[in-house]
Structure 1
Amino acid sequence: MSSFSAKEVKRSIRSFESAAQDVINSKYQTYKARIARFIEIAQKDNVINSIVSPLLKLELDFDKIHISKNGFWIDELKLPTDQDLQIAYVLQMFKRVAEGEQSLEGITHSIYKHKRFEDNIVMWLNDVAIMLP
């Protein structure tokens, strides 16, 4: 295990918390850039990466989280009950968005079904990302 100075840890935590707040407070026009910055910090900051890297590698079955009866609309968002798996879900969703693998507009629209994509994204951030233990 790497050892980090208190100064490094404090700086990394401030940077990561700031990036998380930027995602939560972002608007539709900037949320992708904010998520990309968040994931970049998670992957490149040595302190943060040592903490979140195992969570990014956890195996998650998104089909068991995004319960769909008809193959399109998500009827239930069955979040894991385990705290680490919940955090892993959000981190991995953000990583998928940052890498262009997942459209947050699409997935949130299939959950909440509001016409405005921004409304769906805000609801997901409030329901899922902010509510983490």
Structure 2
Amino acid sequence: MVTYDDYVNKFNDDLEEEEFDILLSSSDEIIRGFCESFISKFSLKENFDEYGIDIDDATLFQINFIESIGGVAAFQGQSDLQLESVSTSGFNYKYKGGNIQLFNGVPLSPVAVIKIKGELRRKNYLQRCVR
């Protein structure tokens, strides 16, 4: 499990520890669910730790990403990625998520996705055959 110190050491960010704790809980659940979505239903385990998958780094990147796009609101479908259009005199801005992957409606950090898929591949959970 990651800690606030792990986060600060990696990102040197000014995220408050209280907000980190809130984001950690939801980020950890999303990352675990995303990992299990790739694992055959015949290989699912009761305890996530039994998979031997290291998701700490992916969780840190997910926390950092979620914090950067609106924080806790992003887990409720209200991220900054939802901005559709802003206009003022001489300025127009429109953004709609781009190629950001969603899992159950929650935006996933692109770096976290890469790290998760790499870890799953190393642990042979991304094989195409049924065991």
Q: Give yes or no for TM over 0.5.
A: no
More helix per residue: 1
* Bigger relative CO (Cα 8 Å, ≥ 6 apart): 2
Normalising by structure 1, what TM-score? Answer: 0.23
Normalising by structure 2, what TM-score? Answer: 0.23
